[in-house]
Amino acid sequence: MKLEKITDNSVKLTRRVYGDACGLAHALELLGERWTLLVVRELMLGGRRFSELRAALPGLSANVLTQRLASLEAHGVLRRRMLPPPARVQIYELTEWGYEAGPVIEALGRWAARSPAHDPTLPISAVSALLSLRAMFRRGAVGDAPFTIGFHLGDDGWLGRVGAEAFEVERGDPDSADICFTGAPEALVAFVYGGAPLPALAEAGSLRLRGDPALAMRFADLFRLPPKFDPGP
């Protein structure tokens, strides 16, 4: 393995080069640096401002985030765009090719969730929680008519749609949904995967439900973490 310098107008970049023709090796050259794949994850549901990425990845320094964004832009995985007035702020968003990494990220998440060392109670970002639901959706389990779910997670609003074959989610008005969850992403994960009771979460102030509790339970039943791998004796 060797280091290769990449020319960029704002940040001095290097990447590890494997000298291997395998596409997986090149993927690691593009996304294998620490934090890079998590930055891509945070952009999977739409463009974000620099400050939003910092808030979603609190262990990532501003300097390293700047380097990772510059590297991803230099390789065509993301682009910068200025929002029109009245916002007038710069966001980072994935290119069409960048979004194609979505199934890979979801597959890695499903694979890693089987690890005996995986701890689903650790902190999690709103985007990561929603992508987890998209990855762990039990296709064909909906049964009755599809429905919509809103999510107020931190400062963001999301609208999810449950269909027969997929759970889709995007930025939208959560209050227009059939039911709506408001609270912390960790509490949503605890309810869906851990079976934490909604009344207890509401009493703790970590997750509130607007709408039919029976529909909320039906929603939670659509998702399963895969069984842990047993390495045997």
CATH number at 112 reads 3.30.1050.10
* CATH number of the domain enclosing 76: 1.10.10.10
Q: What is the pLDDT of residue 155?
A: 86
Q: What is the pLDDT of residue 48?
A: 95
Q: What is the pLDDT of residue 117?
A: 95
Q: What is the pLDDT of residue 121?
A: 87
Examine residue 228 and state whether it is found in any structural domain, yes or no. Answer: no
Determine the Cα–Cα distance for residues 219 and 214; give it in Å rounded to an integer.
9
Q: What is the pLDDT of residue 23?
A: 95
Examine residue 131 and state whether it is found in any structural domain, yes or no. Answer: yes
CB 68 within 8 A of CB 78: no
Q: Which residues contact 61 (CB under 8 A, 6 or more apart)?
A: none
- Per-residue pLDDT for 5 more than 60? no
Phi first, then psi: what are they for 47, rounded to 5°?
-65, 150
For 156-180, how does the pLDDT look when each residue is reduced to its tens digit (9 = 90+)? 899 999 988 889 999 999 999 999 9
Q: What is the pLDDT of residue 16?
A: 77
CB 109 within 8 A of CB 38: no
Examine residue 233 and state whether it is found in any structural domain, yes or no. Answer: no
Q: Taking residues 88-105, report their average pLDDT.
A: 96
3-class SS at 85?
Answer: coil
Range of the domain at 212: 108-220
Q: What is the pLDDT of residue 196?
A: 96
Q: What is the pLDDT of residue 19?
A: 87
**One-letter amino acid identity for 81?**
R
Is the domain of 44 the same as that of 132? no
Examine residue 229 and state whether it is found in any structural domain, yes or no. Answer: no
- Please name which of 171, 158, 159, 154 lies closest in space to residue 55, comparing C-alpha atoms: 154
The average confidence (pLDDT) of the chain is: 91
For 192-203, how does the pLDDT look when each residue is reduced to its tens digit (9 = 90+)? 999 999 999 999
Determine the Cα–Cα distance for residues 187 and 206; give it in Å rounded to an integer.
6
Examine residue 90 and state whether it is found in any structural domain, yes or no. Answer: yes
Is the domain of 113 the same as that of 215? yes
More confident residue, 59 or 85: 59
Q: What is the pLDDT of residue 140?
A: 75
Q: Which of 24-28, 58-62, 139-143, 184-188 is predicted with the least confidence, judged by mean pLDDT? A: 139-143
CB 201 within 8 A of CB 173: no
For 102-159, how does the pLDDT look when each residue is reduced to its tens digit (9 = 90+)? 999 999 999 999 999 999 889 999 999 999 999 999 887 776 678 999 999 988 899 9
The 8 Å CB, 24+ separation contacts for 67-72 are 67/11, 67/13, 68/33, 68/35, 68/36, 68/39, 69/39, 70/8, 70/10, 70/11, 70/13, 71/6, 71/8, 71/11, 71/13, 71/15, 71/33, 71/36, 72/30, 72/36, 72/39, 72/40, 72/98
Is the domain of 77 the same as that of 115? no
Number of domains in the chain: 2
Q: What is the pLDDT of residue 69?
A: 97
Picking from 66, 98, 130, the residue at the C-terminal end of a domain is: 98
Q: At what angle do helices 213-220 and 185-192 cross, to 10 degrees?
A: 80
Picking from 64, 98, 132, the residue at the C-terminal end of a domain is: 98
Is the domain of 214 the same as that of 112? yes
Helix (H) or strand (E) holding 16: strand 13-17
Kindly provide the residue ranges of all beta strands, DSSP E only, lying in 102-203, ordered along the sequence.
147-153, 156-162, 167-171, 179-183
Is the domain of 80 the same as that of 175? no
Is the domain of 117 the same as that of 209? yes
